[in-house]
């Protein structure tokens, strides 16, 4: 008989799984903590099964246990938010030589648009933050700003894929997929990787942005809503009594079916999955039920205050999910097209006032709440869009700015992050990153490393290659912002 | 340290290299290019290493030092920007430039090691997959009563050696259910089961095999397997995820070809080079849609990169689908473990170099990817239509001119005169000010109707997704350093992989007016040749995979060293030989496999066998399998009586719940919901949109079409349970099924339950089971639910049962 072989450090099991050799991709019996079921189940290769979402020990000591990625879809303007460019103000309206590449193609000059907001210092560190974020300004001592990111594409679709999956091509697993693939998730009654969309809709390319690509679907993001029906297909069509009656009889029938097929772990996993689904019907709405949150907490997030209510609910839900063990949470600010998101092509003031106004208080509230509960140390918060915006106008009229992948700002806070610092720089106009430049892959490496995963080691074998989120070449995390 | 300066050195101050430059080199470049590190292939430890350069070639330019890669990278002017973390401070940069101007002198250092390949050539030459398919004879086995044919002999020989017995034959109901799903993706009807169970003929099984192989639904099931392998989708992906017009013709071509048992070597020739081998055959043209099925970025940030990503899609798909080789791994560097040098990747790419980009703009209806395949007998018809249309357009245009002139006559003399010359368009802009009555409306109508007519193909004209406007004299193909299309290196000619002989075929230069370069037909001939060691093995291995749950080489897209070794190498070779002997036809191979005793084994577990071979590597039983995504949906519709068995045609768009559409940036975009009679068609006809899946198909592991999918996952997750219990589709079908039971067994709960079990499992239920299920319905009614609803709930239960969703 052939002995189990190693494939590039992978176990035979991983291989069987990929080739569909009958190994159950998600034998869920163990998720219920039912040891009896677990003992009954065997994989097709005779070894005990593992559940892909079962919590796994990280390779190194993790600095964070969960990630909240606040995705500012459309591309916020760094020069109007966190990257102060005093030299740009007086150039307003003047034609200046500057190399840009956006939706409008490559240009060598353009009409400068001065930043439309003033910057004030915040916190003990005195970091300058624009008046778009009066609340967030008070949290800067917990935040590390990186002003020198660059990306490979200034086009939304491919840039979104880049930020989410590390490639401008679709078909690759997202950051959340990699994190849950590497670590599993502690709470099996809730999805491990959740995505909350803007009320105006999903981002460009929709589900490709939370796809598990070539990995099994178990690692794809699950859409969660902070109001109404929390998960797709979560609301029972039947009355609780009717549903319980069906599940009981279904369980009997499936057990009878299993009786003569007890060596097939998929079947016991299936039985378990129905009980798990049943529990999710209770646990997901419980996570979304804010009735036990006191008024001061709701106020902190701006819930019930008009424009901040929607994003505030999502931020509060994110905190509640972190408490319940969810591994990776992504919240979109902005959806659909044009000014429904941060894509300010015509009027930067109207656009950014709207989106910053909707999110400033909730995000500040989230950081405050996480900190006062002692959760910020174990939660990594990431803020940013798929790219930034240009210092020059896109059109002959108006204050709109085109996309800028040459330089933009993102910030991180919480688990493993050194607060109160700003790192890297763009040039004096904010047109391109020039000092301590970082590719999006460096951000991904940072997140993986802080979660206790080796960015250059975590791999998944597909298409003849050990695929990695950061690609073939080794990529360094951003050590300068790590505590 | 001995300092050896390069002769070309300019006036550098004494000790500059050691005291000034070396510390800077260590500080800024050391992490990646010193002490044994050579990122990008570049080591800077000494003169010899530096002179060798990196993957993109030399980094110093002795004639124009500032134009060298090193100088341009440091000054942030070139493609590369070094150091990547940010431009050097001016005073440091100045010192580097001074040094570069002097020729970049350094101590000699060690000579860089020559590139070595991971595995020795002698070893590669012996690797099993690259050996010709040799003549193999089935082994002699003692259990002759069991072995019905050669397949069995191969299987039994290994089992006997391991001291294992094959499982006994499964019962007839189980067998027919297995066979029906395996060949058509559909459940057998209770009547078909009864007919088979009652058939006393000695060839009862063979008759079923032949009946189902002749079914038009065979092509739907087996065509779908092939569509997975060649990443079939009907949209382009990315922001707009635009539809590929007429992609469905390719899907129909595949289904039709499988139904007709078109020889696989012919399929290869048509897909790879249909336009060259049979330009007049609409099927062969449609087959070249093969190249148009992948993802395509209509707004690339880097057009050259996108162009080579398109080629990469051809190389990856072709090498994996036909050869079981992961040539795509050699795009940036030599393959890590298989003997595939980087040049082989570009030599294969060169065969495809004549294929133009999918479209030169954002327009998906591009002349590069749509081709007229109007049949000859209709061509005259459409030419007539075209002429009529041209006449009509001419008439409408004349009418328009007359009307315009009428209005122009009301203008001033200057404008009237201008309207007769090249400035007429300017004059026309003023028409609005002078038109009267309904003149404006009439004018608009004339313009619109001409535009409308010109936009549409004439009714009898037929277009298909294909390659078109190929280049007879393609650009030279170069090896791209580290896969970067902006760093072209040595030019290569079209050629076959080294591991398979490495021949460079003589391809005559095509006439400048030829419709293509004539390279692909050379590739197709080589792929489709019986002497190609991989093609027949790879294809027959896939056929095996879908009858026995796992292929003989389980990694059916990768026969290389990262893949799985064959469990039955002799059998694989014998089957490959048989495929060629049968003229590359699949149906004789199916028949061979399906009439074996091995296929007919039961899937039951046996303690002795589970202890010795828990992975079933030796095939002592048939594995159980869950229905595929398409089978799950089709079986729901079949049980409910709603399945439409219409074959072929444009794709359909069954309804998708609003909460799922909400994930799109424009909910519902690209998904015009089909009417009910179309929404219940088989899943193979559901529009394959890259960014949106039908929930039931996505939940049950439909292939991700962004790249070749050789083997589907089988996941078991709570989302499936939620979807089937609470989802709209399953609840609706449960309702239709209950109505069906009400008609087929009116007023009799036991009979209804019995029928439900037969429809979902093919099995005749035992009394205890009937009692328990009828009791379920009665208790639901007793709890206050209506009888209709109680029966519907029972149907929902039956459609959630493992026995329904699993074979065996």
Pick from B373, B392, B398, B586: nearest CA to B464: B373
In B260-279, the residues whose Cβ lies within 8 Å of chain A are none
Best of B716, B731, B776 to disrupt the A interface (most A CBs within 10 Å) is B716
For residues B34 and B26, is the Cβ–Cβ distance under 8 A? yes
pLDDT at A70: 98
Pick from A451, A383, A356: nearest CA to A117: A356
How far apart (Å, rounded) are the C-alpha atoms in residues B245 and B234?
A: 8
Taking only the tens place, the pLDDT of each residue in A193-212 is 999 999 888 998 888 899 98
pLDDT at A396: 84
Q: Is the pLDDT of residue A71 over 90?
A: yes
Identify the H or E element spanning B184: helix B172-184
Interface residue B796 vs chain A (CB under 8 A): yes
List of chain B residues whose C-beta atoms are within 8 Å of the C-beta of residue A197: 662-663
Instruction: Decide: helix, strand or coil at residue A413.
Output: strand
Residue scoring higher pLDDT (B637 or B7): B637
pLDDT at A205: 86
**Nearest residue, CB atoms, A223 vs list B565, B663, B706:** B663
Taking only the tens place, the pLDDT of each residue in A355-374 is 999 999 999 999 999 999 99
What does the block give as tokens for A226?
A: 């902070």
Q: Is the pLDDT of residue B618 over 50?
A: yes
- The one-character DSSP state at B685 is G
Instruction: Decide: helix, strand or coil at residue B254.
Output: helix
Question: In the structure, what pLDDT confidence band is assigned to residue B710 with cuts at 50, 70 and 90?
Answer: very high
Asked if B783 and A241 come within 8 Å (Cβ–Cβ), the reply is yes
How far apart (Å, rounded) are the C-alpha atoms in residues B588 and B599?
A: 15
Virtual torsion, Cα A336, A338, A341, A342, nearest 10 deg: 150
- H helices of B260-302, in order, are 264-277, 282-287
A217 CB-near residues (< 8 Å, 6+ apart):
B698, B699, B701, B713, B715, B717
How far apart (Å, rounded) are the C-alpha atoms in residues B664 and B617?
A: 44
pLDDT at A51: 67
How far apart (Å, rounded) are the C-alpha atoms in residues B669 and B239?
A: 12
| pTM of the complete model | 0.82
In B135-164, the residues whose Cβ lies within 8 Å of chain A are 162
Query: From the centroid of its chain, how far is CA B544?
Result: 20
Taking only the tens place, the pLDDT of each residue in A412-453 is 999 999 999 999 999 999 999 999 999 999 999 999 999 999
Q: Is the pLDDT of residue B22 over 80?
A: yes
Across residues B580-584, what is the average pLDDT?
Answer: 98
pLDDT at A38: 35
**Nearest residue, CB atoms, A254 vs list B239, B555, B802:** B802
Pick from A231, A264, A267: nearest CA to A250: A267
Across residues B241-266, what is the average pLDDT?
Answer: 97
Best of A23, A31, A233, A247 to disrupt the B interface (most B CBs within 10 Å) is A233
Q: In angstroms, what CA-CA distances link B523 with B350, B492, B529, B535, B546?
A: 10, 15, 10, 12, 28
Taking only the tens place, the pLDDT of each residue in B747-801 is 999 999 999 999 999 999 999 999 999 999 999 999 999 999 999 999 999 999 9
Chain B nearest-CA distance from A272, in A, is 9
Across residues B566-581, what is the average pLDDT?
Answer: 97
In A414-443, the residues whose Cβ lies within 8 Å of chain B are 424, 433-439
Instruction: Decide: helix, strand or coil at residue A286.
Output: helix
Q: Is the pLDDT of residue B17 over 90?
A: no
How far apart (Å, rounded) are the C-alpha atoms in residues B620 and B606?
A: 9
Pick from B435, B379, B442: nearest CA to B410: B435
In B334-353, the residues whose Cβ lies within 8 Å of chain A are 335-336, 338
Across residues B652-660, what is the average pLDDT?
Answer: 94
Pick from A90, A149, A76, A147: nearest CA to A390: A76
Asked if B721 and A24 come within 8 Å (Cβ–Cβ), the reply is no
Question: In the structure, what pLDDT confidence band is assigned to residue B121 with cuts at 50, 70 and 90?
Answer: low
- H helices of B651-762, in order, are 658-661, 676-679, 695-699, 718-726, 728-744, 749-761
List of chain B residues whose C-beta atoms are within 8 Å of the C-beta of residue A237: 725-726, 731
Interface residue A270 vs chain B (CB under 8 A): yes
* CATH code of the domain occupying A66-224+305-481: 3.40.720
pLDDT at A49: 45
pLDDT at A101: 93
Q: DSSP labels for B553-621?
A: SSSTT--STTSPPPSSHHHHHHHHHHHHHTTT-HHHHHHHHHTSTTTTB-----HHHHHH-TT-TT-SS
β-bridge pairing B463-465 and B370-372 = antiparallel
List of chain B residues whose C-beta atoms are within 8 Å of the C-beta of residue A436: 85-86
Do you find a cis peptide bond into B407, omega within 30 degrees of 0?
Answer: no
How far apart (Å, rounded) are the C-alpha atoms in residues B603 and B624?
A: 6
Q: Is the pLDDT of residue B725 over 80?
A: yes
Across residues A46-70, what is the average pLDDT?
Answer: 79
pLDDT at B113: 59
How far apart (Å, rounded) are the C-alpha atoms in residues B726 and B719?
A: 10
- What is the percent of chain B with per-residue pLDDT over 70, rounded to a whole number? 97
- What is the percent of chain B with per-residue pLDDT over 90, rounded to a whole number? 69
- The one-character DSSP state at A91 is G
Q: In angstroms, what CA-CA distances link A65 with A69, A145, A258, A333, B30?
A: 13, 21, 37, 23, 34
Chain A nearest-CA distance from B781, in A, is 10
**Nearest residue, CB atoms, A261 vs list B87, B605, B664:** B605
Across residues B100-115, what is the average pLDDT?
Answer: 76
Where does residue B185 fall: left (phi above 0), alpha (psi -120 to 50 degrees), or beta otherwise? left
What does the block give as tokens for B584?
A: 């590359």
What does the block give as tokens for B767?
A: 């009394």
Q: Is the pLDDT of residue A145 over 60?
A: yes
β-bridge pairing A408-414 and A379-384 = antiparallel
Across residues B377-405, what is the average pLDDT?
Answer: 88
Taking only the tens place, the pLDDT of each residue in B588-602 is 999 999 999 999 999
What does the block give as tokens for B469?
A: 């406007």
pLDDT at A159: 95
pLDDT at B114: 52
Interface residue A260 vs chain B (CB under 8 A): yes
pLDDT at B8: 45
ipTM of predicted assembly, 2 dp: 0.82
Identify the H or E element spanning A30: none
Q: Strands, DSSP E only, in B39-188? A: none
pLDDT at B58: 83
Taking only the tens place, the pLDDT of each residue in B452-491 is 877 777 778 899 999 999 999 999 999 999 899 999 999 9
How far apart (Å, rounded) are the C-alpha atoms in residues B790 and B774?
A: 10
Question: In the structure, what pLDDT confidence band is assigned to residue A311 with cuts at 50, 70 and 90?
Answer: very high
β-bridge pairing A425-426 and A460-462 = unpaired
Query: Tokens 């009889």 appear where?
Result: A249
A97-116 core/surface letters (b: 16 or more CB in 10 A; e: else): ebebbbeeeebeebbbbbbb
Instruction: Decide: helix, strand or coil at residue A467.
Output: strand
Asked if B663 and A202 come within 8 Å (Cβ–Cβ), the reply is yes
How far apart (Å, rounded) are the C-alpha atoms in residues B454 and B458?
A: 9
In B525-564, the residues whose Cβ lies within 8 Å of chain A are 549-551, 554-558, 560, 562-564
Q: Is the pLDDT of residue A34 over 70?
A: no
Q: DSSP labels for B770-787?
A: HHHHHHHHHHHHHTT--H
């Amino acid at each position: 008989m052939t002995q189990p072989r190693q494939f590039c450090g992978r176990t035979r099991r991983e291989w069987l799984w990929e080739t569909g050799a009958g190994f159950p991709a998600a034998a869920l019996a163990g998720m219920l903590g039912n040891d009896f079921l677990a003992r009954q189940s065997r994989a097709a290769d005779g070894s005990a099964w593992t559940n892909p979402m079962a919590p796994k020990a990280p390779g190194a000591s993790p600095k964070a246990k969960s990630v909240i990625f606040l995705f500012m879809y459309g591309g916020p303007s760094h020069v109007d938010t966190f990257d102060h460019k005093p030299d740009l103000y007086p150039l307003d309206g003047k034609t200046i030589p500057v190399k840009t590449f956006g939706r409008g193609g490559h240009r060598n000059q353009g009409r400068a648009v001065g930043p439309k907001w003033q910057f004030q210092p915040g916190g003990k560190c005195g970091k300058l933050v624009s008046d778009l974020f009066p609340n967030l300004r008070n949290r800067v001592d917990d935040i590390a700003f990186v002003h020198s990111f660059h990306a490979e594409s200034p086009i939304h679709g491919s840039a979104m894929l880049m930020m989410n999956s590390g490639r401008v091509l679709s078909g690759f697993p997202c950051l959340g997929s990699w994190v849950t693939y590497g670590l599993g998730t502690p709470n099996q009654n809730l999805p491990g990787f959740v995505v909350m969309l803007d009320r105006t809709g999903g981002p460009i390319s929709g589900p490709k942005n939370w796809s598990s690509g070539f990995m099994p679907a178990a690692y794809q993001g699950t859409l969660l809503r902070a109001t109404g029906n929390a998960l797709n297909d979560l609301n029972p069509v039947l009355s609780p009594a009717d549903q319980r009656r069906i599940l009981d009889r279904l369980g009997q029938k499936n057990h009878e079916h299993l009786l003569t097929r007890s060596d097939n772990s998929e079947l016991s996993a299936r039985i378990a999955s129905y009980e798990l689904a049943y529990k999710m019907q209770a646990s997901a709405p419980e996570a979304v039920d804010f009735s036990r949150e006191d008024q001061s907490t709701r106020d902190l997030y701006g819930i019930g205050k008009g424009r901040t209510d929607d994003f505030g609910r999502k931020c509060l839900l994110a905190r509640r999910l972190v408490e319940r063990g969810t591994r990776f949470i992504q919240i979109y600010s902005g959806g659909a097209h044009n000014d429904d998101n941060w894509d300010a092509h015509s009027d930067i003031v109207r656009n950014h006032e709207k989106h910053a106004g909707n999110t400033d208080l909730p995000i500040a509230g989230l950081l405050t709440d996480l900190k006062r509960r002692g959760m910020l140390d174990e939660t990594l918060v990431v803020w940013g869009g798929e790219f930034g915006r240009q210092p020059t106008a896109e059109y002959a009229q108006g204050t709109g700015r085109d996309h800028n992948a040459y330089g933009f700002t993102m910030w991180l806070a919480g688990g493993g992050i050194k607060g109160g610092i700003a790192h890297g720089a763009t040039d004096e106009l904010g047109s391109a990153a020039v000092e301590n430049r970082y590719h999006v892959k460096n951000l991904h490496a940072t997140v993986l490393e802080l979660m206790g995963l080796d960015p250059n080691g975590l791999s998944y074998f597909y298409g003849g290659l050990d695929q990695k989120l950061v690609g073939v070449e080794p990529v360094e995390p951003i050590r300068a912002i790590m505590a | 340290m001995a300092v050896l300066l390069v002769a070309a050195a300019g006036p550098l101050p004494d000790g500059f290299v050691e005291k000034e430059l070396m510390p800077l080199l260590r500080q800024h470049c050391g992490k990646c290019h010193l002490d044994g590190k050579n990122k990008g292939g570049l080591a800077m430890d000494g003169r010899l290493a530096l002179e060798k350069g990196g993957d993109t070639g030399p980094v110093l330019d002795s004639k124009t030092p500032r134009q060298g890669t090193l100088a341009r990278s440091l000054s942030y002017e070139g493609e590369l920007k070094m150091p990547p973390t940010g431009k050097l401070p001016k005073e440091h940069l100045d010192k580097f430039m001074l040094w570069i101007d002097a020729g970049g002198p350094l101590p000699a250092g060690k000579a860089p090691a020559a590139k070595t390949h991971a595995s020795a050539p002698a070893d590669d030459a012996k690797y099993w997959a690259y050996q010709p398919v040799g003549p193999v004879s089935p082994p002699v086995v003692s259990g002759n009563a069991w072995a019905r044919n050669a397949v069995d002999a191969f299987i039994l020989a290994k089992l006997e050696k391991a001291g294992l017995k094959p499982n006994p034959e499964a019962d007839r109901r189980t067998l027919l259910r297995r066979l029906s799903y395996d060949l058509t993706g559909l459940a057998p009807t209770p009547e078909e089961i009864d007919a088979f169970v009652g058939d006393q003929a000695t060839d009862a099984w063979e008759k079923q095999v032949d009946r189902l192989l002749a079914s038009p639904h065979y092509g739907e099931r087996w065509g779908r397997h092939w569509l997975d392998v060649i990443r079939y989708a009907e949209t382009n992906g990315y922001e707009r995820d635009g539809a590929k017009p007429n992609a469905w013709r390719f899907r129909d071509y595949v289904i039709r070809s499988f139904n007709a048992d078109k020889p696989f070597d012919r399929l290869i020739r048509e897909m790879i080079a249909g336009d060259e081998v049979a330009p007049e055959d609409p099927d062969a043209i449609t087959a070249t849609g093969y190249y148009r099925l992948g993802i395509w970025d209509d707004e690339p940030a880097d057009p050259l990169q996108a162009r080579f990503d398109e080629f990469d899609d051809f190389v990856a798909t072709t090498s994996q689908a036909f050869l079981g080789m992961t040539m795509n791994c050699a795009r940036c560097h030599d393959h890590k473990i298989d003997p595939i040098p980087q040049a082989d990747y570009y030599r294969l790419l060169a065969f495809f170099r004549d294929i133009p980009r999918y479209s030169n703009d954002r327009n998906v209806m591009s002349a590069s990817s749509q081709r007229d395949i109007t049949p000859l007998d209709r061509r005259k018809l459409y030419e007539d239509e075209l002429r009529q249309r041209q006449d009509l357009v001419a008439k409408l245009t004349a009418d328009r001119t007359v009307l315009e002139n009428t209005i122009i006559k009301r203008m001033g003399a200057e404008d009237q005169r201008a309207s007769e010359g090249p400035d007429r368009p300017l004059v026309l802009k003023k028409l609005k000010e002078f038109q009267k009555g309904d003149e404006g409306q009439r004018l608009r109508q004339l313009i619109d109707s001409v535009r409308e007519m010109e936009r549409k193909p004439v009714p009898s004209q037929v277009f298909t997704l294909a390659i078109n406007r190929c280049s007879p004299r393609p650009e030279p193909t170069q090896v791209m350093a580290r896969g970067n299309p902006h760093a072209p290196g040595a030019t290569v000619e079209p050629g076959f992989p080294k591991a398979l002989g490495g021949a460079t075929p003589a391809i005559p230069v095509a006439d400048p007016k030829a419709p293509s370069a004539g390279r692909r037909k050379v590739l197709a001939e080589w792929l489709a040749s019986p002497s190609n060691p991989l093609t027949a093995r790879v294809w027959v291995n896939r056929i095996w995979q879908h009858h026995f749950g796992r292929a003989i080489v389980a990694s059916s897209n990768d026969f290389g060293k990262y893949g799985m070794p064959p469990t039955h190498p002799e059998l694989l070779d014998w089957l490959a030989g048989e495929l060629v002997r049968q003229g590359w036809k699949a149906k004789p191979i199916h028949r061979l496999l399906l009439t074996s005793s091995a296929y007919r084994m039961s899937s039951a577990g046996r303690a002795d066998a589970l202890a010795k071979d828990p992975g079933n590597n030796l095939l002592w039983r048939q594995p159980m399998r869950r229905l595929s995504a398409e089978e799950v949906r089709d079986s729901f519709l079949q049980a409910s009586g709603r399945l439409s068995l219409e074959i072929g045609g444009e794709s359909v768009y069954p309804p998708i719940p609003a909460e799922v559409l909400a994930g799109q940036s424009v909910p519902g975009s690209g998904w015009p919901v089909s009417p009910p009679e179309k929404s219940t068609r088989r899943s193979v006809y559901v529009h394959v949109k890259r960014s949106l899946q039908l929930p039931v198909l996505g939940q049950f592991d439909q292939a991700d079409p962004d790249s070749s999918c050789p083997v589907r996952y089988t996941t078991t997750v709570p989302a499936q349970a939620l979807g089937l219990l609470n989802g709209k589709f399953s609840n609706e079908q449960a309702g239709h099924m209950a109505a069906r039971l009400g008609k087929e067994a009116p007023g009799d709960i036991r009979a209804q339950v019995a029928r439900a079990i037969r429809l979902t499992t093919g099995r005749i239920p035992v009394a205890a089971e009937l009692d328990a299920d009828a009791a379920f319905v009665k208790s639901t009614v007793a709890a206050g639910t209506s009888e209709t609803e109680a029966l519907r709930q029972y149907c929902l239960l039956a459609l959630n049962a493992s026995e329904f969703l699993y074979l065996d």
